[in-house]
Amino acid sequence: MKIFVTMLMCLLLSSIHVDQTYAAQLSLNLAIETIYQNGEKGIEHRTESFEAMEDFFAAYSSLQIIDMSNELITLRTSEKEVSPLVKLSGYYEID
């Protein structure tokens, strides 16, 4: 009888399938501000998914967090060159 109960329990437990591919992922709206040497500011908006906030912090550790709310996370970076708009106008930085 013990063997039968044990086998029945094993069958029941093996029939329970937990699919971990549908784990809840964080979907974050990001605004990345890029400050160029000439003072111009460019803003790029994107939505990215992460499994945990630790993954987000690891991916964007080189950027400065400016604002963090439930709807939007604003990050900032700076470039040591002039903005693409200034370059498009024909100006280039000479070292």
Beta carbons of 30 and 75 less than 8 angstroms apart: yes
CA-CA distance, 17 to 8, in Å (whole number)? 16
What is the per-residue pLDDT for 95? 60
pLDDT beneath 50, residues of the chain: 1-2, 4-20
Q: What is the pTM of this model?
A: 0.67
pLDDT tens digits along 48-73: 999 999 999 999 999 999 999 999 99
- Give CA–CA dist 3/7, Å, rounded: 6
Which one-letter DSSP state was computed for residue 86? H
Say whether domain 25-88 belongs to CATH 3.10.20.420. Answer: yes
Q: Where are the domains of the chain?
A: 25-88
The pLDDT score that the predictor gives to residue 19 is: 45
